[in-house]
Structure 1
Amino acid sequence: MNPIDLKEQLALAIEASIDAGNVIMEIYDSADFETEFKKDDSPLTRADLESNKVIMSYLTKTDIPIISEEKKNLDYSERKNWDVCWMVDPLDGTKEFIKRNGEFTVNIALIKNETPILGAIYVPVTQELYYANVEEGKSYKIVVGNTKELPSNLFDKENQLLSSEKSGSITKVVGSRSHMNEKTEQFIEGLKSEGKEVEIVSKGSSLKFCIVAEGKADIYPRVAPTMEWDTAAGHAICTAIGLKVTNWETGKDLTYNKENLLNPFFLVR
């Protein structure tokens, strides 16, 4: 494989995520979701499937293999030989989509040697776009608006997210809208026992990574199941500004394209 032009691939991922987001919004506004349920009881809507079609139309041009939540993925015996692959969640936060609270995203990441090297997260309702090139150590955020063209200032310094030191005495902990559980509550109680004042910030989908990257929260403990496509893009955005996304048990960075695509519990801080 030829050397990967990360800027070119990131621009492609951004374009795909925005285009997919527009298709999602057409369905969101129609209220005709055609919801069904998968074997694990997680919901699947027409928006998940249509978004996946759009993203595939972009990424298949790259000749880089793709792992997607809504695609039949190859067995590990084939995948284990991939140095590079795309990791896609066409609609992250389907429960939030169905609840119509706007907190759902399109997630696209590029994985190299089990590590996210770029990521794009698009929020269709607010038209916010988060994206990162890990090699350059840069994450960005812009509001796209209704333009069909990619903004020309994508990589301008004014759009760069900068890591911020924790300010103030309150520790802001990200909690899930749909998945807050006993272990998370125990973690929060542990912080309080250290004398910390804790504020819970609730968000759905991969937006939890984004608000830590923006400095609107300090820590995101995840002690509930997630899949690799749920976290890869957010992992890239956090890593690029110096945050850590680590295995809850071992303290090592999360890895991708594993035999089992289920993540271990993790911590973003």
Structure 2
Amino acid sequence: MDKNLYTAIEASLKAGKVIMEVYDTAFDVEMKDDNSPLTEADKNANDIINSFLLPTEIPIISEENKQTDYAIRKNWETCWVVDPVDGTKEFIKRNGEFTVNIALITNGKPVLGVIYVPATKTIYFADVEKNSAFKGELDSHNITIEKVLEVSKPLQPKNGNSKTIEVVGSRSHMNQDTLDFVDSLKAEGKEVKIVSKGSSLKFCLVAEGNADVYPRFAPTMEWDTAAGQAICNAVNIEVISKETNKPLVYNKENLLNSYFLVSK
């Protein structure tokens, strides 16, 4: 296994452990400058992840780190892109649909990705260059990497032959543009079923064959999508910008993503 993927998996598991320690308490919620919520879990998980990634000497873009100026970032060939708790709103609602996202980016493209679901101890990880992506159901946050590999199985997307198209809809962001997209599928005579999930789990639904397409016509940041894109790309699923009609790219001057579509 790639040593950086090994590190990312280990970091995600340890972050998951501290996240659940907060999840099981009466935690406080702060509001950041952009009006998004922040909890002790976000901060603690970020500290843990930084402690694993900093020794790699690869620079880090994390939602909870102070962002490095683009004049410096633009010279980074490789970087980590991290969301310590993706789906903080889901965390606050205590519905379990929040994740740890860690991706490695080279020349703007995701090459490795890990998504860990602490509430269910489910892990997804991928090496894009090797076209390998896996899902593991774990019994502990303290599991060894060897055991993770032992219990993990390859992801298999849908073959696309079903009469029903399963469309991933966000629990928090189902807007008119998304509804219009669903209507356009129905107008083509297709039967549409909406599958709802929070956080980066929406990417995982498509990658593991539990949905056909994920339209995201609402704002996201690079740390929301990098790990999910890596996992999808590893099983030949595209994450295409509606603005450029090309794959989403990373370490941009503006870390905000365009709207995008995830499909084969």
Smaller-chain TM-score bracket: over 0.9
Quote the residue 1:103 is aligned against.
Answer: 97
Match of 1:166 among 152, 155, 160: 160
1:117 and 1:157 map into 2 onto residues whose CA distance is: 23
**Does the 8 Å CA contact 1:21/1:106 hold for their aligned counterparts?**
yes
Quote the residue 1:18 is aligned against.
Answer: 13
2:247 and 2:150 map into 1 onto residues whose CA distance is: 29
Quote the residue 2:32 is aligned against.
Answer: 38
Quote the residue 2:236 is aligned against.
Answer: 242
Which amino acid in structure 2 is aligned with residue 144 of structure 1? L
CA RMSD for the aligned pairs? 1.3
* Runs of 4 or more consecutive aligned structure 1 residues displaced over 3 Å after TM superposition: 153-158
**Runs (5+) with no aligned partner, structure 1:** 1-5
**Does the 8 Å CA contact 1:144/1:151 hold for their aligned counterparts?**
no
Question: Shift of the alpha carbon at 1:150?
Answer: 1.9
Q: Indicate whether 1:185 and 2:185 are aligned.
A: no
Quote the residue 2:248 is aligned against.
Answer: 254
**Does the 8 Å CA contact 2:9/2:145 hold for their aligned counterparts?**
no
SS at match of 1:72: coil
Q: Work out the percentage of aligned pairs sharing the same amino acid.
A: 58
SS at match of 1:209: helix
- CA gap of 1:99–1:158, structure 2 versus 1, over 3 A, is closer
Quote the residue 1:88 is aligned against.
Answer: 82
Deviation track 1:30-51 (CA, whole Å, cap 9, x = no partner) reads: 122x211011111011110000
SS at match of 1:30: coil
2:97 and 2:141 map into 1 onto residues whose CA distance is: 21
User: Structure 1 length normalisation: TM-score?
Assistant: 0.95
1:110 and 1:90 map into 2 onto residues whose CA distance is: 14
Deviation track 1:113-155 (CA, whole Å, cap 9, x = no partner) reads: 0000000000000000000000100000001211623242544
Question: Shift of the alpha carbon at 1:219?
Answer: 0.2
**Runs (5+) with no aligned partner, structure 2:** none
Q: Indicate whether 1:139 and 2:129 are aligned.
A: no
**Does the 8 Å CA contact 2:10/2:145 hold for their aligned counterparts?**
no
User: Structure 2 length normalisation: TM-score?
Assistant: 0.97
1:43 and 1:158 map into 2 onto residues whose CA distance is: 33
**Does the 8 Å CA contact 1:105/1:206 hold for their aligned counterparts?**
yes
2:151 and 2:47 map into 1 onto residues whose CA distance is: 33
Moved more, 181-190 or 140-149: 140-149
Q: Indicate whether 1:127 and 2:118 are aligned.
A: no
1:167 and 1:25 map into 2 onto residues whose CA distance is: 39
Match of 1:54 among 45, 48, 52: 48
Quote the residue 2:143 is aligned against.
Answer: 149
Which amino acid in structure 2 is aligned with residue 26 of structure 1? E
SS at match of 1:15: helix
Deviation track 1:62-88 (CA, whole Å, cap 9, x = no partner) reads: 000000000001110000000000000
1:74 and 1:12 map into 2 onto residues whose CA distance is: 22
Which amino acid in structure 1 is aligned with residue 25 of structure 2? S
Match of 1:29 among 13, 19, 24: 24
Deviation track 1:204-233 (CA, whole Å, cap 9, x = no partner) reads: 000000010011000000000000000000
Q: Indicate whether 1:264 and 2:258 are aligned.
A: yes
